[in-house]
Amino acid sequence: MRLLALLHGLGQTPQSWQDQVTAMPDGFKAVAPWLRGLRPGRAQEFSVEGAADDVLALLNQHGVEEIALVGVSLGAMVALDAAIRSPGNVSHLVLAAGQVNPPKSVMRMQRLVFSMVPAKRLAAMGVEKKRFLQALDQAATVDYRSRLGQVRAKTLVLVGAHDKANHTAAQDLAAGIPGARLAVIPDAGHQPNVEAPEAFNALVWPFLTEDADPATG
């Protein structure tokens, strides 16, 4: 069995991966953890590095040497961080709506917009407003421009056709990560795993299974 971690985006929860888990082919053991610092009720702050540490800790928890990572938005940043810091342990990497160095002006605007969203509305999404804004602040500090070449994982970069704000970042990820592929998902925005799950799955599962050993599934 191959260990696979599904890493949710900001404003999502682990349950956001339901459409992927139900379509998962044989041969995988999937886990969909809360990113550290985003689970409601826990006294932890979010950082990309801290969340990536938790993801890499799954290797020891499950007694394996390699893990495949699929991340969306903030989860893609965490997945990328893990793949950069522990390149020998990440076999496959799927980065959807990811970022290399988020534009500061865009991040400031996002923070302003979400600071005006009622806390109850975010709570209905399973997110605490304070944690949401703190995670946005942390994401704004990310800069992987000089480190993309350290990734050794087989990589697929995905972006929704309507996610115009992330098209440049997707191109930068694909250009900077050795051997990475880039695919655009039609009729999808910033959360393609929930907005276009069939199209998302049709790209992700073949990518993760195309080099699987038939003897091991």
181-208 tens-digit pLDDT: 999 999 999 999 999 999 999 999 999 9
Structure token digits, residue 89: 């342990």
Look at residue 114 and tell me if it is in a domain: no
Residues of the domain holding 169: 2-102+143-209
Return per-residue pLDDT of the chain as tens, 217 residues: 899 999 999 888 999 999 999 999 999 999 999 999 888 777 788 899 999 999 999 999 999 999 999 999 999 999 999 999 999 999 999 999 999 987 766 666 777 777 777 778 777 767 777 777 888 888 888 899 999 999 999 999 999 999 998 999 999 999 999 999 999 999 999 999 999 999 999 999 999 998 654 333 3
CB-count exposure of residue 30 (10 Å: 0-12, 13-18, 19+): middle
Look at residue 35 and tell me if it is in a domain: yes
The whole-angstrom separation of Cα 69 and Cα 125 is: 23
Look at residue 12 and tell me if it is in a domain: yes
Residue 62 sits in a domain whose CATH number is: 3.40.50.1820
Count of domains forming the chain? 1
Look at residue 131 and tell me if it is in a domain: no
